[in-house]
Amino acid sequence: MNTFSKVIVETEFLMFLVMSGAYPPDMSVLVKARKGGANYIYSVLVGYEDPPPGVTLDDGVYYNKYMAGNKIKMPNNLMDGLVEYADGTLA
């Protein structure tokens, strides 16, 4: 196994652990499978927000205004501070 392949396998395994035992979705398949394609994926990725008053969520469930039922188990992947660069660049 080359180094690149090893990194991919390790990254997929870490995502499996981070996502409570679920592998991350293959977005290339979702583009083809979902009505709206790339627009659907964009909407889901930017649709995370705090739930409205009166809405309760179980542990590991997040509110997303664009998901059917407004609940999703995939954590928000587009948040400030998720990446730290050695030179201090903000991400």
CB burial readout 60-89, b (16+ within 10 A) else e: eebbbebbeebebebeeeeeeeeeeeeeee
pLDDT digits (tens, 9 = 90+) for 23-36: 667 888 889 998 89
Task: Give the pTM.
Answer: 0.63
pLDDT digits (tens, 9 = 90+) for 55-69: 999 998 999 999 989
Is residue 54 very low, low, confident or very high in pLDDT (cuts 50, 70, 90)? very high
Q: What is the DSSP string of 32-57?
A: HHSTTTHHHHHHHHH-B-PPPTT---
